[in-house]
Amino acid sequence: MDQGHESGMAPQGTDPFEILLVDDSPTVVRMFSDMLEGNGYRIRTAGDGREALQSIAKRRPDLVLLDVMMPELDGYEVCQTLRAQWGDYLPVLMITAPGDLAKSLDAGADDFISKPPEPTELIARVKSLLRIRALQKSLYDQHRQAECQNEQLQAQNQQLEAMSGQLQAQNQQLHEMATQLQILNQELQLLSVTDGLTMAYNHRYFQERLRSEVARARRHGETLACIMIDVDHFKGVNDRHGHLSGDEALVRLVEVLKAGVRREDLVARYGGEEFALLLPKTTAAQAQQLAERLRMAVEAENLKLANGGTLRFTISLGVSEYPAVGRERDASALIDVADKALFLAKQGGRNRVVVGTK
């Protein structure tokens, strides 16, 4: 990564990255502005949701730092409007309370941070989203350039039909361009459904697959299991080793989870340090056995950190099966039972598996 991306500077020859900070509190605006401007970012501000949408319509920022509680339009409504109106990617970092995580992600936010923020965490999250933004923009620009070249080649192909040799060469070029377009489209599609840090599927895609898998299980009378996973004492990991080391732990956890499940199983980042597994054609007993294997595999890890240190951590797991016993036959019941089982696992001392019963 070049030096410009490590600070608030955009690639060489361009202006610094611009962040739109949306909050109705002058004190909060000043606090966030001081942190971000001190790292080289250029800041625009808006005092409410309506002003933010007007500002974005006039000039696109590179990232939107958006408060939830505002007059007229709250942060959720602003985020939903942005996702509905803008086709290309505009990262949104939501300023919210930890309990509002799922609602923020459902509204279309890419990440969240609580206030008052910890400066290192704020800058790390901003850098991560801007890296994704830069990659998306690069892929989008290549996509548009390839489409323009494709149109030009098609026009030339019509004019040179009589020249068979040149026509064959141009057809080969068109084939190569189509292949590149397909690859770019696949990359864009993958980015839209994966978590930028861990490369697990994101919360939004998990909810889509959950609904479709529950519908299929209901239609064919099959079982479907869910495992909710939480990293034990993750705040302590961040406090002792730093947030970058905490990120390394999450990345390694996903690698262990992916290595331990089948190809048809789904590994998703549910939010923060919480992950979810979706296991088609799997009973609660089978899911319990898998969960125990994963728990032991994580416990046995001795993660070597980039800073030269090592890190050991554990996970707690809650298991549920569709259809949940004594519950309605829907997707929310499957998650609810697994989530309650996870709570019991943490309450019972952590580093354990609990199977939900109702």
Can you tell me the distance from the alpha carbon of 97 to that of 101, in angstroms, rounded to the nearest whole number? 7
Strands in 11-136 per DSSP E: 18-22, 42-46, 63-67, 92-95, 111-113
Report the Cα 50 to chain-centroid distance in Å. Answer: 26
- DSSP result, 120-140: HHHHHHHHHHHHHHHHHHHHH
Active-site residue among 6, 176, 222, 273? 273
Residue among 82, 106, 84 nearest 92 (CA): 82
**Tokens read off for 184:** 């770019």
Two tokens, residue 85: 């109106």
Cβ–Cβ < 8 Å for 133, 89: yes
List 303's β-bridge partners, or say none.
311
Handedness of CA 281, 284, 290, 294 (dihedral sign): positive
Catalytic annotation on 37? no
Catalytic (active-site) positions: 273
